Amino acid sequence: MKYLIVGAKGQLGQELQHLLSNQHVEFVAFDADELDITNREQVFETLQSINPDVVLDAAAYTAVDAAEDEGKELNWLVNAEGTKNLADAVAKIDSILVYVSTDYVFDGTKDGEYLESDVTHPMNEYGKAKLAGEDAVLNSGAKAYIVRTSWVFGEYGNNFVFTMQKLAQKMDKLTVVDDQLGRPTWTKTLAQFMMHLISVDADYGIYHLSNDGEATWYEFAKEILKDEDVVVEPVKSDAFPQKAYRPKKSVMSLEKAKKTGFLISTWQDSLNMFLQK
């Protein structure tokens, strides 16, 4: 099978390239300067020329706060229109699409874990645009997997783990939000699950994927910096005003993903493996 990775230079895109290379899988990888997914004609021409069996869509506009104002147009252009272009092109060549979405499609008010079938209610522009991307995938008629994930960290690019480590080098005390609950996700786990769905020929549709267990950002930070000489203290979200609304509790159920036979490690184990690496 031939794979096409879109968003190749991003955090997930680089992880996917690393994984496929190690598995000796044939793939082509394009970043935005090589394949602009907002250019519908270019997307159709490129996919028809390469004719991949699977398209792994790791392309996204992820500046959540900027998406509320100065980045709003680009957010919708990439996450909604760009996704529609890819999905329609994939449908035309009868390939398979794996699209990565977000926990921000939910408002974070549910007491229990969010199921794939739960009603969505995004409260920020990023979440709204990613949900529009989901709708575009579903409406395209393409054979597709939509993988919602959350709190992503990994070796490539900027993320919460690297931010905490850098701050700990400059400061002897950090304050971190303790009233937002979610599930951290290692890019390696996410990339492996995307490939797993293809390898086991799982039913098409929406899946939730993160590492197992729950944490607040404060608990996540404490684990990241447990071996560092720095004090980490909890604070409420209003101590760090942000443009974009963040769900208070965006814990997504992993049961559907587990039923495919995919083994999911805890976020603590995954974090420790990442830090050791």
Residues 6+ apart with CB under 8 A from 196: 202, 260, 261, 262
User: Is there a catalytic annotation at residue 114?
Assistant: no
Considering 114, 126, 145, 218, which one is annotated as catalytic? 126
Encoded tokens for 42? 């270019």
User: Which active-site residues does the annotation give?
Assistant: 126
